[in-house]
Amino acid sequence: MIENFDMELFQKISLERCNGPFNCADQPLLYWSTAIAEEAGEIAGVAKKMARGFNKRELLKMRKKHGEEKTDTELEQMWFVEKKEQLAEEAADLFTYIDLLAQKSGFDLWAAVTSKFNRVSEEMQCTEYMLPTSRTESAKPAEPKINEL
Ligand SMILES: [Mg+2]
């Protein structure tokens, strides 16, 4: 796990990469929405395969990829590890595109996440709230209602 993930730095580098080698600086909102839907679909595809499980087709693909030395059980274990890695990669793609959509649309993703999270917590009467940071000053934790004091 990465300690102290620097979201601001991530956003800056991601935008630079987008504006540079990816050449997608001037894409409209529809482009970012489509990219998000594509990545969500890729997550669903991996999840579907994981739900279906390690079947003969997956065994044949793993055998072709990794050779004849491994047992079926070893290949099945490796397959699940690979699927979890793929799931993580697709989730990372999704996260990146969601952040780019936010940057290109001109809103602060973390302020929006904090604000929405807290609003839902209040609606559901949960005790878990996200505390605002210097980047999300507008996302104030919900105050308890007067009649609840
Ligand atoms: Mg992807």
59 belongs to a structural domain: yes
What integer pLDDT is reported at residue 139 of this predicted model? 45
Cα 98 to averaged position of ligand 1 atoms, centre (Å) = 13
Cα 119 to averaged position of ligand 1 atoms, centre (Å) = 31
Task: Look at residue 2 and give its three-state secondary structure.
Answer: coil
22 belongs to a structural domain: no
Q: Are residues 54 and 74 in the same domain?
A: yes
What integer pLDDT is reported at residue 25 of this predicted model? 86
* CB-based contacts of 87, cutoff 8 Å, min separation 6: 43, 46, 47, 50
Q: Are residues 100 and 147 in the same domain?
A: no
Q: Are residues 134 and 147 in the same domain?
A: yes
Cα 89 to averaged position of ligand 1 atoms, centre (Å) = 7
Domains identified in the chain, total number? 2
Which residue, 91, 104, 87, 92, is CA-closest to 19? 104
11 belongs to a structural domain: no
CB 53 within 8 A of CB 62: no
What integer pLDDT is reported at residue 2 of this predicted model? 72
Mean pLDDT, each 10-residue run in order, the chain (149 residues):
85 94 92 98 98 97 96 98 98 97 94 94 93 58 45
Domain containing 50: what range? 27-106
